[in-house]
């Protein structure tokens, strides 16, 4: 998969610009006070206490969730991309929470263009969206939203994942790299490195530029290094070394 790196560079420049503007400490009901910085134009909801804390350097609170509401995808027996080992997603009325487990030895350069993508079939409808690449098993695209941003800065330091958001801009069920950025980076999420190989994060649902939510959605994660994918989940088996095992995105139901 090749990115339009001119667009990517602009998005990453936006990350830097946002980081320099009007920041202040805010208290997220799901975090410890004083550990989270957010853009002052979009603060996290204050009338909801999440069962999941961010920035506590632990994912133990996930064990207390209703596990029937936690969607999980793990690396298959014969993967083409091996850096991502497991993803977990739990969504409620306020947050889309996720855990990304990866092999840090496969993620070594940490240049600004090493990004994580989240692809979402936001309306749970195969007849809308597009982008036929690693996903999907249905043989056509159904991705409505793409989130794109770095998880390391250009000094190789771990940073919070605050992606830019793009809507699919091509033909329905079309393919190609045809995205329209609708929200710049730095405004709708937060994450923590629990340790070198585990990222815990969330997207704030009310700030995602999407209105057609149903009771469920599909989601997939991709990590790139040196302009190429090195991690992908969900992923099908590829015993012949070719991307023949295209997988559907992970199916997630909202916990209401």
Average pLDDT of the chain to the nearest whole number: 80
Q: Comparing C-alpha atoms, which of 177, 162, 87, 82 is closest to residue 132?
A: 177
Structure-model confidence comparison of residues 30 and 82, the more confident one? 82
Model confidence pLDDT, tens digit, residues 87-137? 999 999 899 999 999 998 888 777 767 889 999 999 999 999 999 888 877
Contact yes or no for 102/146 (Cβ under 8 A): no
User: Which positions ≥6 away from 161 have C-beta within 8 Å?
Assistant: 116, 149, 150, 151, 189, 190, 191, 199, 201
Question: What pLDDT sits at residue 136?
Answer: 79
**CA distance linking residue 65 with residue 63, whole number of Å:** 6
**CA distance linking residue 207 with residue 44, whole number of Å:** 9
Model confidence pLDDT, tens digit, residues 154-203? 788 888 888 999 999 999 988 889 999 998 776 677 888 998 899 999 99
Strands (E), the chain: 23-25, 37-39, 71-74, 84-91, 95-102, 115-121, 145-150, 164-168, 179-183, 189-195, 198-204, 216-225, 228-233, 250-253
Tokens 């330091």 label which residue?
A: 157
pLDDT band at 243 (very low <50, low <70, confident <90, very high): low
pLDDT band at 143 (very low <50, low <70, confident <90, very high): very high
16 pLDDT more than 90: no
Question: Does the global pTM surpass 0.85?
Answer: no
**What's the mean pLDDT in 20-33?**
34
Most confident of 40-44, 105-109, 165-169, 204-208: 165-169
How large a percentage of the chain has pLDDT more than 70?
Answer: 78
Structure-model confidence comparison of residues 21 and 193, the more confident one? 193
Model confidence pLDDT, tens digit, residues 53-89? 988 899 999 999 999 999 999 999 888 899 999 999 9
């Amino acid at each position: 998969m090749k990115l339009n790196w001119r667009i990517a560079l602009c998005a990453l420049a936006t990350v830097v610009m946002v980081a320099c503007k009007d920041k202040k400490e805010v208290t997220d009901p799901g975090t410890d006070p004083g550990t989270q910085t957010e853009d002052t134009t979009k603060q996290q909801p204050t009338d909801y206490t999440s069962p999941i804390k961010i920035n506590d350097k632990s994912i133990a609170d996930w064990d207390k969730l209703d596990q029937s509401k936690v969607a999980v995808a793990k690396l298959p027996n014969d993967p083409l991309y091996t850096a991502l080992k497991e993803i977990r997603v739990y969504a409620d009325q306020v947050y889309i929470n996720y855990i990304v487990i990866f092999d840090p030895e496969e993620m070594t350069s940490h240049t600004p263009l090493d990004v994580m993508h989240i692809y979402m079939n936001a309306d749970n409808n195969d007849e809308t969206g597009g982008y036929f690449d690693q996903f999907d098993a249905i043989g056509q695209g159904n991705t409505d939203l793409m989130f794109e941003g770095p998880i390391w800065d250009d000094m190789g330091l771990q940073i919070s994942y605050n992606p830019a958001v793009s809507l699919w801009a091509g033909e329905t069920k079309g393919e190609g790299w045809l995205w329209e950025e609708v929200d710049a980076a730095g405004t709708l999420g937060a994450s923590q490195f629990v340790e070198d190989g585990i990222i815990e994060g969330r997207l704030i649902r009310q700030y995602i530029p999407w209105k057609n939510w149903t009771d469920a959605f599909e989601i997939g994660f991709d990590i790139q290094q040196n302009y190429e994918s090195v991690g992908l989940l969900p992923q099908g088996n590829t015993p012949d070394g070719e991307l023949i095992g295209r997988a559907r995105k992970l199916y997630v139901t909202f916990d209401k």
